[in-house]
Amino acid sequence: MNTQTTQAKNYIRTDEKIEVKDYPYSFNVRTTLFDFVEFNEKRGYRRVTQTINPKTNRENKPKKSVYSPLLVRFYDDIGHIKAVYFDFNGDEAINKGCEFLAENFGLFAENEIKYFYSFILSMAFVDMKATAIYGGSDIEKLKPLYADFFALCKEGLKTGENLFSSMKLDSQAIDKTKPENFNPFVVKSYTIG
């Protein structure tokens, strides 16, 4: 997640297109700006802005951000539209993302909810494998720590219900499976001869 906090913000639904009138276009010219979110079930979300050319009254080419697994817009204290991004990279980020989704479930359409369950399921699986490979944990000891989480993801994928508040990976238990002083990047030397 980026550095902005996600508490007490007036979030905007992902399918809402915002029209901003009197938007600065050049030094002394104003125009209309459209701000919306583009969703792709394979890539995630990206923010799109598009202005109207005041000389021709036609839409300019849209400006698009890079894709993010989760992007939500909100109004800041002075009424400007800002965005918060989530990456779901690692067990703590997955937990923060699930907490956000539980609290803001109504911002998303049904196909977006199914995308989240599928994406989070794959990210949790990647986290489990990475913990085994780069943390030195025994995969058989990790499987029970992820089992309930995987089951909730699969149930949410089937039903579309808000199960995110029940979805939490136990970061402390996961860390306890890692051996002390494990370093996957130790270079071993071999003598030939």
The predicted-structure confidence for 32-89, as pLDDT tens digits, reads as follows 999 999 999 999 999 999 999 999 999 999 999 999 999 999 998 888 999 999 999 9
Between CA 20 and CA 133 the distance in angstroms is: 49
The tokens for 5 are 């906090």
The tokens for 81 are 């539209």
The predicted-structure confidence for 101-152, as pLDDT tens digits, reads as follows 999 999 999 999 999 999 999 999 999 999 999 999 999 999 999 999 999 9
- Beta-carbon contacts of residue 69 (< 8 Å; ≥ 6 apart): 44, 45, 86, 87, 88, 97, 119, 123
CA dihedral 89, 93, 97, 98 (to 10 degrees): 110
Whether pLDDT at 99 is above 50: yes
Among 3-17, 37-51, 174-188, name the one with the lowest average pLDDT.
3-17
Residue 122 phi, psi dihedral angles, 5° rounding: -65, -40
Whether pLDDT at 189 is above 90: no
Q: Provide the pLDDT confidence category of residue 6 given band limits of 50, 70 and 90.
A: very low
The alpha carbon of 142 is separated from its chain's Cα centroid by a whole number of angstroms, namely 24
pLDDT at residue 193 in the model: 64
**In 3-state terms, what secondary structure has residue 56?**
coil
Q: Provide the pLDDT confidence category of residue 185 given band limits of 50, 70 and 90.
A: confident
Enter the pTM of the model: 0.85
What's at 20, amino acid-wise?
Answer: V
